[in-house]
Amino acid sequence: MRRLLFLCLVFTALHLCAANPSTDQNQKRLALYGVAFYNLENLFDTIHAPGKNDYEFLPQGSYAWNGMKYRAKLKNLSEVLSQLCTDRVKAGAAVIGVSEVENRQVLEDLIAQPALSARDLRIVHHETDDRRGVDCAFLYNPRFFNLERELYVPYIYPTADGSAEDMGFVLEDNRVKALPLYGDTTHITRGFLCAIGTMADERCCFIVNHWPSRGAESPARERAAYQVRRLVDALAKEYGGDMKFVIMGDLNDDPDNLSLTQGIACKFEAKKLEGDTDFFNPWYYTLRKQGQGTLLYNNKWNLFDQILVSANAVDPKYNLKNPPKVADIDLTKGLTFYQHSIFMRDFLFQQEGRYKGGPLRTHAGGVWLNGYSDHLPTQVYLIKQF
């Protein structure tokens, strides 16, 4: 019995549990679903796009970005993406949020790479007016996630006279409707990409983010958090309290910064969650207690790349200091948070030189390193009892 349960955990329900030869009607079938996020660090093609600040990533640009380098980056990134969540799920991540992509074509080129092509991944992407010319996107495996709706909500700067609520959406006939940009459009940045659908027969909403950088003032990220929080509340009102929410992205803040603790109202302890749409943030423990991060700056780790899970998908008894075994997790809520980790492999780290020990980037110090990204990916596992 224990061996059968273990095998069901290693694979997804669709991959193995359906083929389980056991005829024991009382046996509990368990399945894992991988959720991941990865900042792809300037995935640009080699062709100038009008309105895009892509001049550095042209053959004559400062990075001398050419077809050979572009193809190498696609190969490198696809190999990382193909390995995400495979520690526990043979089929890999069910869904992956990504940031810093120039356009849809680079995503098409990415998922067509040999390491990913067999998975038949699908793309959710909306072209934005970001000043840097980079967008967020959502990749999903249709075997495990059924897309029902996609929604892009712009990040809105406050209006000068304060006459508007400064949201990128409205509730119209109890349905969330995105608005066009308004207010200050001189500092346009990425908005919020929503993918709504079903996973494990439950409705889920994944919101992919890339909040304003540390070069912007802190209130810009707190404002982004405030807008995402309101967006979650509006979608919960439209769809009902049963929908599970996952907020993921490069938030350009650490788990204990105000944007997360107050803007999203995240909790580091599951027992302190209140209401179905409070959010559990397990990454505080990863950064502050375990000393692990996703990017290295001035020899100090930050953990900007986070995946947050709504309270209605978290066992309130879950303890990060002593993670429970599967048998001890309350699975009565359906799809439930199980584990989280930073994806770490030796090949993702620079092994020598000035930046030794940090993520192996594509470029550093003006030199092409044929690396991956200046960020490490993060991953979360959700578990479901059938």
pLDDT at 20 over 80: no
Nearest partner of 365 among 376, 350, 375, judged by Cα: 350
H-helix or E-strand spanning residue 70: helix 67-83
pLDDT in tens, 238-266: 998 899 999 999 999 999 999 999 999 99
Residue showing tokens 């967008």:
135
Long-range pairs, 125-129, Cβ under 8 A, ≥24: 125/101, 125/193, 126/150, 126/152, 126/193, 127/103, 128/152, 128/154, 128/188, 128/190, 128/191, 129/51, 129/181, 129/185, 129/188
Q: What is the mean pLDDT of the chain?
A: 91
Q: Check pLDDT > 80 for residue 73.
A: yes
Model confidence pLDDT, tens digit, residues 168-183: 999 999 999 999 988 7
- pLDDT band at 162, cuts 50/70/90? low
pLDDT tens string 194-222: 999 999 999 999 999 999 998 776 799 99
Contact 95, 377 (CB under 8 A): no
More confident: 71 or 16? 71
- Summarize the confidence of residues 63-84 as an average pLDDT: 98
Q: Per-residue pLDDT for 13 more than 60?
A: no
Residues in Cβ contact with 53 at an 8 Å cutoff, skipping those fewer than 6 apart: 131, 132, 133
DSSP 270-287: GGG--STT-EE-THHIII
Tell which wins on pLDDT, 63 or 161. 63
Residue 6 pLDDT grade (very low, low, confident, very high; cuts 50, 70, 90): very low
Looking at the domain 34-385, which fold is it?
Answer: Deoxyribonuclease I; Chain A (3.60.10)
Q: Which helix (H) or strand (E) holds 204?
A: strand 202-210
Average the pLDDT over 78-95 and give the result.
98
- List the beta strands (DSSP E) in 290-351: 295-297, 300-302, 305-310, 336-342
What residue spans define the domains of the chain?
Answer: 34-385
List pLDDT tens digits, range 100-138. 999 999 999 999 999 999 999 999 999 999 989 999 999
Q: Which amino acid is at 70?
A: Y
Amino acid in the structure at residue 204? C
pLDDT class of 163 with cuts at 50, 70, 90: low
- Residue 1 near residue 26 (C-beta atoms within 8 A): no
Number of helices (H), then strands (E), in the chain: 6, 19
